[in-house]
Amino acid sequence: MIELEEALEIITRVEPRSSFETVSLDQALGRALAHEVRSPIDSPPFAKSAMDGFALRSDDVSPALRIVEVIPAGGAPRGELKVGECARIMTGAMLPPGAGRVIRKELVEEKDGVIRALGPETGDNVIPRGQPARGGPGAGAARAFPPGHRNPCRLGLCGSGRGDASRGRHNLHRFGDPFSW
């Protein structure tokens, strides 16, 4: 076995080989992106609930909230929430206008169409519009798919942009964790 310093010296002397080719999405799984891919659209195109629960206004401190609608995943809200109102909402559903947070269903007591919080909620449980991918001019640091990324869950986001995938992967181990060039 060689010492760490010697191993790092060997690694820094290795010239990375790079070969890039453009492939279709159905061939991209398991490949690393050669360049960043940006989305021309916001994904998701609206703020949505990160879990099942009750959507309410961020500034609402009412002790009891009346359920005024049910928003299923894939459904659209009917109207804006007012103070003292909430909407039963499913994971992935669009937040109604005026809503800024979601209380998990496990943290409320529901009776006769009214909910009361049983304890404090940590976080707002909202996925903002355009996270993980913000499109259009001035998108800035928000990116759909960074170079080297091979997450199959985000492969679909590449469908809204264009990128080159690297043919080969050069895996090295540094401090026990694999990384790719």
How far apart (Å, rounded) are the C-alpha atoms in residues 131 and 143?
9
Would you say residue 8 lies in a domain? no
- The closest alpha carbon to 166, from 23, 15, 20, 16, belongs to 20
Residues 6 or more apart in contact with residue 153 via CB below 8 angstroms: none
Reported pTM? 0.63
Would you say residue 4 lies in a domain? no
Q: 92: which 2 tokens?
A: 């992935």
- Provide the residue range defining the domain that includes 135: 16-41+131-180
For residue 22, name the pLDDT band (cuts at 50, 70, 90).
confident
How far apart (Å, rounded) are the C-alpha atoms in residues 172 and 181?
8
Provide the CB-side half-sphere exposure for 44 (13 A, CA). 15
Q: What's the mean pLDDT when you consider all of the chain?
A: 77
Indicate if 93 and 30 belong to the same structural domain: no
pLDDT tens, residue by residue, 27-63 = 777 777 777 666 677 778 899 999 999 999 999 999 9
